[in-house]
Structure 1
């Protein structure tokens, strides 16, 4: 499964929780432009704890989220989800 397929599947998974945008190359997740950001999808796994299930660069992730009707938070540091 490609990263894009994994991202789509994670967003549509029944145990999807929320997305978070962060800069994986900076310890605090701080960013300057959206070029620094990756969108991480969090959900519950088989072990019943939340963890990252998929991730893509921001510019690739946003069109997929729009295509699937997922809304991105107003602030790149706010969560979005069903839980």
Structure 2
């Protein structure tokens, strides 16, 4: 049986990530419109809820992650922007 409460929490986590990236894309105080963090800080432990959320968002085409050394740059894609905006229309 599916744990509906956990499913809703996962969906909420993914939307929070997309909202943060959406805001960075349009309202970033610098010209760097992406989230830049250490890769291990971004995902947490492998197969954690956060790691799985980022994996889902990448494979769905909502975000893009560029890895350079031990840092990752995460940005929202056009598909991700459309998704966030559709939630609030």
Range class of TM-score, shorter chain: 0.3 to 0.5
Structure with more relative contact order (C-alpha pairs < 8 Å, separation 6 or more): 1
Task: Specify which structure has the higher proportion of helix.
Answer: 2
